[in-house]
Amino acid sequence: MKNKTGIVIRINGRMAIPKYEQLVNEILRNIKTGRLKLGDKLPSINEICNNIDIARDTVVIAYNELKSRGIISPRHGKGFYVSSTSVNNKLKIFLLFDVMNGYKEVLYRSFVKNLGRDFQVDIFFHYYNLKVFSQLIKDNADKYGYYVIMPHFNEDVSDMIKKIPADKLLIIDKDLINHKENYAAVYQEFYKDICSSLEKALKLLRKYKQLKFISNHNFQFIPEGMEKGFIKFCKDKRLNYSVNANIRSSRPSHGDAYLVVSDQDLIELLNISIRNRWKPGKDIGILSYDDTPLKEILAGGISVISTDFYAMGKTAAGIIKDNLICKTENPCRFIARKSL
């Protein structure tokens, strides 16, 4: 195809490269060769469809890709124009976390490292606030080439996420229940993971009088499946157990074992142990959720139930780089250290 601007677009239907990607590459080639200059108008979507064997949706995808890189921009009612001739612009990724903490830092660093230099990652935080979560998605719709979202809510957020095209969406850590679109995800199975991990820790847990789960929802996401799995496991194994809202309400005592999710609860429990001269792993048991480098050395080593956050970041990066739409369950493990 050659239009009145003098640009040439060639699409080969026999190539393994998707047509939308070929179209992106052709626009970039025309910019590199100078046929398209800053401010030039691109062929309309209808013009391309009428002259090339290519579907309208394919052209839309290609133009959205170029728009997300800042290469082209729309003018209301007039079409698309070249807004940058820097054709090496990085693909922009919208990354939405709840908060930043130790294990999410591992995830973030792995994700960025494995993406490489061809991507720009902009990170946002919703702080467990549904209004903030929804507004951030609304405000950034159509501004990015890919959206990576951590929906850390026990409420259904599928309607809020529908604003994002399914082929540009990657859900991480917690999968969506009611989102029916075909999207990518790297997620944990919290119910299954906690049951299988506690099974591996059972021999160590049986030496304690009671197992107490600190389910502290104050500025901390506790998946429903985690708590349900804990209760089911304790009942099946006939373990004395309790679920407590915080450390204080659990009334810590000598001979108890604790499963804590919040790092703040972990520190509080360790401080209580120090004051009472309780030795973790002997006088009191401590099992933490989500591993971090600090937990390897804290108090001689904190036992953990944890998904592999480095692997999660690497898998997420691979899905984006290879343009895949798939769902992957991330591996979980129990790591025994001196605290149990």
- CATH number for the domain spanning 162: value is 3.40.50.2300
> How many other CB atoms are found less than 10 A from the CB of residue 273?
20
Predicted confidence (pLDDT) per residue in 128-185, tens digit: 999 999 999 999 887 788 899 999 999 999 889 988 888 889 999 999 877 778 899 9
Residue 337 lies inside a defined structural domain of this protein? no
| Statement to judge: residues 32 and 174 lie in one domain | no
| Statement to judge: residues 317 and 183 lie in one domain | yes
Residue 338 lies inside a defined structural domain of this protein? no
| Statement to judge: residues 195 and 300 lie in one domain | yes
* Residue 330 contacts residue 190 (beta carbons within 8 Å): no
Residue 101: exposure state from Cβ atoms within 10 A (0-12, 13-18, ≥19): middle
**Which range of residues forms the domain containing residue 289?**
190-307
* Distance, CA of 272 to CA of 274 (rounded, Å): 5
| Statement to judge: residues 128 and 155 lie in one domain | yes
Residue 339 lies inside a defined structural domain of this protein? no
Q: Is the pLDDT of residue 324 over 90?
A: no
| Statement to judge: residues 252 and 284 lie in one domain | yes
SS (H, E, C) 223-255: CHHHHHHHHHHHHHCCCCEEEECCHHHHCCCCC
Identify the pLDDT of residue 190: 96
Of the CA atoms within 13 Å of residue 225, those in its CB half-sphere come to 16
Q: Is the pLDDT of residue 2 over 60?
A: no
Residue 153 lies inside a defined structural domain of this protein? yes
Q: Is the pLDDT of residue 90 over 80?
A: no
Predicted confidence (pLDDT) per residue in 206-233, tens digit: 999 999 999 998 878 899 999 999 999 9
| Statement to judge: residues 184 and 314 lie in one domain | yes
Confidence band for 310, pLDDT divided at 50, 70 and 90: very high
| Statement to judge: residues 182 and 321 lie in one domain | yes
- In total, how many domains does the chain have? 3
Task: Single out the residue in 53, 82, 111 at which a domain terminates.
Answer: 82
Residue 1 lies inside a defined structural domain of this protein? no
Residue 9 lies inside a defined structural domain of this protein? no
In this prediction, what percent of the chain has a pLDDT beyond 90? 64
Residue 275: exposure state from Cβ atoms within 10 A (0-12, 13-18, ≥19): exposed
Identify the pLDDT of residue 5: 55
Identify the pLDDT of residue 19: 87
Residue 100 lies inside a defined structural domain of this protein? yes
CATH number of the domain that 32 lies in?
1.10.10.10
Task: Single out the residue in 60, 82, 104 at which a domain terminates.
Answer: 82
In this prediction, what percent of the chain has a pLDDT beyond 70? 98
Residue 11 lies inside a defined structural domain of this protein? no
- How much is the mean pLDDT over the chain? 91
